[in-house]
Amino acid sequence: MASQVVAVGVDGSEPSREALRYAIGEATRRGTVLRVICAFEPPEYWAVVYGAPVAVSSDEVAEAVRAEVRTMIDELADPAAPVEIELAVVAGSAVPVLLDASTRADLLVLGHRGRGELASMLLGSVGLQCALHASCPVTIVRPAVPESPTDVRESEGDLPRLGTATL
């Protein structure tokens, strides 16, 4: 039987950091592999769009992205946690890359951009497209809501509030 996989899409943003944090916990809880996926548009794409000369290669961009995401993983992952982490840096648009990854995953985790319901519908956000078309369940991790001084819980057993929705 193939090993189970929790996949998470990251782009270096704060919402993707929250998604990575959640995915690390979920992969640890499930005892599965965590596959961290980062899609990037190759420099050749931008050269065609803007008519600018290409100053760096796709390989150089991929290595820079890989180093940045590896740093993010190192900051968030517990070295003592028994979770295998794979990193995939893929040239291409986020939606097709993530949808492809969903075919080999048991769960896809993404951060929420917070554009609002109407804007997300009109703009066709990555999260929305993945929720509609992924081959596995998708969890959209909303950022933690800061507690106000009047909303502080006294009980030690309360968990921090993290809004998620599994579609």
Residue carrying structure tokens 């704060």: 14
Q: pLDDT by residue (tens digit) across 149-162?
A: 555 444 444 444 44
Domain map (residue ranges) of the chain: 11-122+132-146+160-166
Residue carrying structure tokens 């998604």: 19
State the DSSP code for 124.
T
Q: pLDDT by residue (tens digit) across 77-99?
A: 988 878 899 999 999 999 999 99
For 11-122+132-146+160-166, CATH number out of 3.30.530.20, 1.10.260.40, 3.40.50.150, 3.40.50.12370 equals 3.40.50.12370
Contact by Cβ (8 Å): 73, 105? no
**pLDDT surpassing 80 at residue 148:** no
**What is the Cα–Cα distance from 8 to 121, expressed in whole angstroms?**
22
Handedness of CA 3, 100, 27, 157 (dihedral sign): negative
